[in-house]
Structures are given as structure tokens and as C-alpha cells.
Amino acid sequence: MDIRHFSAFIAVFEERNITAAAQRLHISQPTLSVTIRQLEEALGVELFLRQARGVDVSEAARNLYPRARALVTETASIGDMFRPGASRQTLHLGVEGDISAAQVEQFIVLARQAVPNLLLHLEAGCTGDARLAVEELSCEDELFVPVWEDPYALALPPGAERAEDCGWITCPGHPSHQRLMTIYGSSPVAAQASSLELALRLVNAGVGAAILPGSLLASAPTVGTGSLNLPLPTRRIGLCHSAQALENPAVNALYAFLREASANHAAELTDRA
């Protein structure tokens, strides 16, 4: 195994499609398939389940992804450290709560692509030159560039099949609470939490059901999901900062990079329509 195998794995995991991953890596599909097969043989596990259209990921792949991503990122950073004459651009990035670990890691990758010689200071909370944040928590005078649409989903405790069989776990202090009250209706409240992440922990412990962002559910594989007859909201996660923060070269570069990526994505959706 070498870094080439893990880079190939990451591309397939994120694209969920061999063709798209091969194009991203600028290699042929047969070469990519052989590389993935070599990694599977070396690890002794099946990482991807081939489907008629694209691939599905195995539990082993889900466990490997954060380790592989960290390894590739660290390897790239070593090269940056010894690049002759390279000047570092510093970015203090705050990460607000209730954002999934996978999204934080993917955002770090985007930041490093936008600012190749980035010296990143990752900080928890509403702090830093810019933040990875949920749009509804941003201030009116702040700039926001969306990166992900994150639909809410019904989270059921292990073994439960319907929300009607459980009490609700609510987050009265969270901005999403008002939007979800019509779904809760007059059903009993099983528990309350101060954050969505803590609400997920209560669901996983079997206390009750909750309406939570789908991205958070990946960290609790024993939590079930179900359907409701009512539409569920969606939140947007992205880069948030003041207009003055654009004076920081790293923030400016990241802002421009994400804006271009967002515009390209919108254009792709328009072309498909």
C-alpha cells in the first residue's frame, strides 16, 4: 500500500462513481479499478459494492475514509513544509458545533486546495478569521458561501420502527426548533438537549426520536431512520466571515475558490435540467 492507493480510494469514496473518480485523478478507469482492487486485497476487505450505476460503500470503507483522508493530507503537508521559498498564508478557522466530522475534514481539504501553502489554525466555536458554520447562525452583515445542502431526517433509536412509538428529543434553544414544532405536534417530549449532537447521543441511547441533520447520523450507525408525512427542512453549511476578513489573503483566496465552485455546481445542475 502507498499514498497512491489511498488517494484512489478517497476519490471513489467521495465521488461514488468509478468514471468520475478516474476523471478526477486523470487516470483510466481500468487503472483505477486495479488500484482499488490492490488496496482491497492488501486490507483483506471489500471497500466498494459495484452497482449498475456507481458504487456503494461498505462499512469498512466508512471506517477507513477518515484515516485515509488524514494520511493523504498529512503527506501533502510534509511536502509543503520543505518547499523552497514557500511563504505560508495563515488562516484561523473557527468550526461551529453540530457540524459532522466528515464535513469538517472535507472543508479542510477544500481550504488546502484554495490556499496550497496554508498554515491552518483550527479552532472550536464562533471565532477566527472565518468560520465553518450553518447559515442560520450567521450574522446579517456577514458573507456566507454555501458548500453543502444538509437535509434533516428522522432519527429513530435502535430497534424502533416508527416515530409514533417514541417520545421526541427536542432542542428548544436551537434555531431549528421553531421550524420543527409543527412536526412534534402534541407528542410527548422524551428529553431535551442543548445541541443537535447531544440530541443524537440521546437517540443512540434509546431515549427517543429526533429530527436531525442527515450528515450527523453517519456518526451513529445504530441509529435508524424513518419517513414522515410532513416535509423536513434543510440547512446550509459553508464559509462565514465579515466583509473586512477578505483583507486576509487566505480568506480572500478561500472565498473566491468556494464561490467559483458553487457557481460551477449551479451551472452543472442547469445543464442537466
| Whether domain 87-273 has CATH 3.40.50.2300 | no
The yes-or-no verdict on residue 261 having pLDDT over 90 is no
**pLDDT (tens digit, 9 = 90+) per residue, 159-179?**
888 888 889 999 999 888 988
**pLDDT (tens digit, 9 = 90+) per residue, 95-131?**
999 999 999 999 999 999 999 889 999 999 888 999 9
Q: Which residues contact 83 (CB under 8 A, 6 or more apart)?
A: 117
| pTM of this structure | 0.64
In the chain, CATH 3.40.190.290 covers 87-273
DSSP track, 158-219: TT---GGGSPEEE-TTSTTHHHHHHHHTTPPEEEE-SSHHHHHHHHHTTS-BEEEEHHHHTT
Fold designation for 1-83: Arc Repressor Mutant, subunit A (1.10.10)
In the chain, CATH 1.10.10.10 covers 1-83
